């Protein structure tokens, strides 16, 4: 979801539509027209949405969305933008396409976040192509593909000149970081301006990562998680678990089983003053909201919240009113208040 300047909400729906809700979330005002076709098989569909950094509702009405795009060979994560007028989009253009379409319906990633210089980060899953037991299929490590990467582009889809350079044949210029599995949360740290992501591990090993330019986060060579079906414990950790010194260690990770983190914010509002600067991520398998308390770039503590709801929390946003808003897989919009 994304909040318009007047408080109304844009909410994507997996099957391929975007609705606009009143500021109180109580009424659906309408459904946008002009969206491209999506492949909503499995984990695919119409995914994240973000406003242009200069969106003002009049001279600039650009919005951006990520979706699983059908095509020859299967589907791939794509990002489009269009200008919002009333309940319609025009000037719709796809500004990014995953380099290859592949079969399968999992691990699209597809979170969007703008940094201060108005360039756009896009998180990309490895489409569940990587098998830690097979060293020949390390797509997330292959710099000639978009699988298991974070990319950074300009608003028109061009590549910023100051992106990091990666060694390797055919390295793609839009790459920002590599070695990710399925990053389904992305947020800019309010103090440092750095990108942070949450990503799914296999059986355990979900991660909160501080993403540095040119960084390698280890998948599928290292993970604190285990191959699916392994006995629950730490003896089965992929590559022994420890990432350093070859790969970047996560700030936080969840073991021995997965919570499947989704969505990410750093809280900056005044409604929960004691939580300012904390990270919040939803959980799909874990059906909860997690609060991660940080000191600089280190985890101090973490807390599981709202676990009694039994809801798969897909999206987390801070509202303009300072409350925390959640979207669930059961179709609920929730507001966290005192």
Annotated catalytic residues are 107
Burial class (CB in 10 A: 0-12, 13-18, 19+), 202: buried
Q: How far is CA 258 from CA 149, 183, 326, in A?
A: 21, 14, 20
What's the first-to-final CA gap in the chain, in angstroms?
Answer: 22
Q: How far is CA 126 from CA 89, 109, 137, 228, 304, in A?
A: 30, 8, 11, 16, 28
The residue to which tokens 């253009």 are assigned: 93
CA distance linking residue 92 with residue 81, whole number of Å: 6
Please give the structure tokens belonging to residue 309.
């709801």
């Amino acid at each position: 979801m994304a909040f318009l300047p007047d408080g109304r909400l844009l909410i994507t729906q997996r099957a391929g539509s975007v609705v606009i809700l009143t500021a109180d979330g109580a009424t659906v005002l309408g459904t946008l027209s002009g969206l491209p076709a999506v492949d909503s098989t499995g984990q695919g569909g119409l995914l994240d949405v973000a406003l242009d950094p200069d969106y003002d509702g009049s001279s600039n009405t650009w919005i951006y969305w990520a979706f699983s795009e059908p095509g020859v060979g299967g589907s791939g994560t794509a990002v489009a933008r269009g200008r919002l007028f009333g309940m319609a989009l025009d000037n719709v253009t796809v500004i990014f396409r995953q380099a290859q379409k592949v079969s399968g319906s999992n691990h699209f990633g597809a979170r969007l976040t703008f940094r201060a210089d108005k360039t756009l980060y896009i998180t990309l899953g490895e489409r569940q192509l990587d098998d830690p037991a097979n060293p020949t299929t390390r797509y997330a490590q292959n710099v000639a593909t978009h699988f298991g990467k974070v990319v950074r582009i300009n608003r028109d889809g061009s590549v910023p000149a100051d992106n990091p350079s990666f060694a390797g044949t055919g390295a793609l210029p839009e790459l920002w970081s590599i070695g990710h599995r399925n990053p389904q949360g992305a947020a800019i740290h309010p103090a440092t301006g750095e990108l942070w992501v949450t990503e799914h591990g296999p059986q355990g090993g979900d991660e909160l990562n501080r993403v540095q330019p040119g960084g390698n986060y280890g998948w599928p060579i290292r993970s604190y998680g285990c191959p699916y079906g392994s006995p629950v414990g730490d003896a089965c950790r992929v590559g022994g678990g420890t990432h350093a010194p070859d790969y970047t260690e996560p700030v936080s990770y969840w073991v021995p089983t997965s919570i499947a983190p989704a969505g990410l914010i750093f809280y900056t509002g005044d409604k929960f003053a004691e939580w300012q600067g904390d990270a919040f991520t939803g959980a799909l398998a874990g059906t909860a909201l997690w609060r991660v308390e940080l000191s600089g770039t280190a985890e101090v503590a973490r807390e599981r919240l709202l676990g009694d709801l039994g809801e798969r929390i897909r999206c987390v946003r801070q509202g303009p009113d300072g409350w925390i808003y959640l979207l669930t897989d059961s179709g609920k919009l929730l507001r966290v208040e005192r």
